[in-house]
Amino acid sequence: MLIAHDLGTTGNKATLVSNDGKMLAAKTVNYGADWGTDGRAEQNPHDWWDAVCRASRELLAETNTAGTDIDGVSFSGQMMGVVPLDSHGEPVRPAIIWADTRSTKETNTLLERVSMEDCYRITGHRLNPTYSLTKLMWLRENEPDNFAKTATFCLAKDYTAFKLTGVLATDPSDASSTNAYDQASGDWAWEIIDAAGLPHSLFPKIVPSTHVIGTVTAEAARATGLAEGTPVVIGGGDGPVAALGAGVIDESSGAYAYLGSSSWVSLSASRPLLDPKMRSMTFNHVVPEQFVPTATMQAGGASVSWGQEVLSGGKSYEQFLGAAGNVEAATQGLFFLPYLIGERSPYWNPLARGVFAGLHMDHQQPHMMRAVLEGVAFNLRTGLEAFSDAGLDVSHIDCIGGLAKSPVMLQILANVWNVPVAARDIVDEANSIGAAVLAGVGTGVFEDFSIATRLSQQDPDTAPDPAVHEALEQPYRLFLDAYTRLEPWFADMHQTVNG
């Protein structure tokens, strides 16, 4: 059997998978985050490790599985962060996670030395405060004592793999989420790193996503219940791993949407997508010689969860989504801009904020929730347009992630995008399945990546309603126009609040 860990923003899910690819059991251990109005988003790496240990022990105990029965362990992890480690491998401060946007000043400084176009061409990404590179610069400028203690940095899954094995490394998928990876050379983008003024020693070695970086140490075995000597495969960043879990392994696999806290649309390609408008970005896939063009919004499912918590009036998540299915929003002039923690695709603006526009006395809670759902669908559509403009196939979209369980959301997506959409039967488990495939391929349990195409099934299609799609076309244009008009206001508001 194999164990896959999915280190997300809200918790770690450990999944037990048989050697023929069947999911046997899962255990989730949650942890918190420190969110600040100044753009702060941090987590304690020790909480990640504690969650890995506890989830492993409980998963083994509840399934009556011996540690010696586990043939390999691997990881999916949140991307784009910074875990600064001292020379002993201990975190010098809390991890700065993907959602942190405090390095806007450092990003602007770097843009004086490296053009946006050159960075996009080299790394597949715009320079942006959400990436690891300028977070390291922020650490140097704002916490010089902590920066002086930092011998290297890593990302979330790298840290837990290090705790299991004592070996520190990262993989191309996570490296490609740092703004510091050269996709052509397959190595760190040293010219950009030099422009940032950062020492080369900060950047860990890069190994393939299926590489066995080491085995479980005696100390880690006591903490996790795993057997000492169990192989540990490095794994990958959650976006590319989710693609693998959804069976997206090459160009023939089609497109998919991940509807989690952050949400994205993506597919697999044999080369990076360099969108002339830079709406999308490209990660390295965990599958060798493949890339994952992606358009990610900061708060997709997170906007929906926020709406349910703030607007629900005591209704459950499912009840509130159901109520939103019985009303209209955009076609009645009500819009929500889902930029609660800034935005990546397509605007790359950390100063953007969530906005309800067009509120009227007739609007009630369900109308506002409907506007939230439509705002997520509208925003993700911009990414699909980047793909279709490049000639990539987006004629059908598979959906994974918790929000893919909602028939209301699936119908909104189909109508806004004007393509059939379908949930996979592993909506919550794509990352775990992908990480398990990496563990299996890395340890030789699975012959190759093709097993990923057989580990989940597609639910029946949700087809678009042509009349509804047509009715939503002008509202979609108004949604885009609302951001354009508000963009300078976001900057003025930020200056007023923060000085």
pLDDT at 314: 79
Instruction: Indicate whether 100 pLDDT > 90.
Output: yes
Q: What span, in angstroms and rounded, lies between the C-alpha atoms of 300 and 235?
A: 25
Query: How many other β-carbons are positioned within 10 Å of the β-carbon of residue 270?
Result: 10
pLDDT at 377: 98
- The stretch 21-50 carries a mean pLDDT of 94
- The stretch 225-240 carries a mean pLDDT of 97
- The stretch 308-333 carries a mean pLDDT of 91
Quote the Cα angle for 433-411-313, to 5°.
90
Q: Give me the half-sphere count of Cα atoms (radius 13 Å) on the Cβ side of residue 278.
A: 17
Query: What is the percent of the chain where pLDDT is above 70?
Result: 100
Instruction: Indicate whether 475 pLDDT > 90.
Output: yes
pLDDT digits (tens, 9 = 90+) for 256-276: 999 988 899 999 999 999 999
Instruction: Indicate whether 312 pLDDT > 90.
Output: no
Instruction: Indicate whether 79 pLDDT > 90.
Output: yes
Mean pLDDT of all residues belonging to the chain: 95
The 8-class DSSP code of residue 343 comes to B
Instruction: Indicate whether 455 pLDDT > 90.
Output: no
Residue pointed to by tokens 């650490």: 139
Instruction: Indicate whether 233 pLDDT > 90.
Output: yes
Q: Which has the closest alpha carbon to 7: 428, 431, 292?
A: 431
In whole angstroms, how large is the CA radius of gyration of the chain? 22
pLDDT digits (tens, 9 = 90+) for 181-191: 999 999 999 99
pLDDT digits (tens, 9 = 90+) for 129-177: 999 999 999 999 999 999 999 999 999 999 999 999 999 999 999 999 9
pLDDT band at 499 (very low <50, low <70, confident <90, very high): confident
pLDDT at 469: 98
Q: Which amino acid is at 130?
A: T
pLDDT digits (tens, 9 = 90+) for 113-129: 999 999 999 999 999 99
pLDDT at 38: 85
Q: What span, in angstroms and rounded, lies between the C-alpha atoms of 388 and 392?
A: 5
pLDDT at 427: 66
Query: How many other β-carbons are positioned within 10 Å of the β-carbon of residue 207?
Result: 17
Q: What span, in angstroms and rounded, lies between the C-alpha atoms of 306 and 311?
A: 8
β-pair type (255-259, 11-17): unpaired
- Give phi and psi for 152, each to the nearest 5: -160, 170
Residue with the bigger pLDDT between 314 and 328: it is 328
pLDDT band at 315 (very low <50, low <70, confident <90, very high): confident
- The stretch 340-361 carries a mean pLDDT of 94
> What beta strand segments (E) does 307-369 contain?
335-337, 355-357
pLDDT at 229: 98
The encoded tokens of residue 396 equal: 């059908």
Q: What span, in angstroms and rounded, lies between the C-alpha atoms of 247 and 8?
A: 20
Instruction: Indicate whether 62 pLDDT > 90.
Output: yes
The encoded tokens of residue 277 equal: 């408008």
Residue with the bigger pLDDT between 400 and 427: it is 400
Query: What is the percent of the chain where pLDDT is above 90?
Result: 89
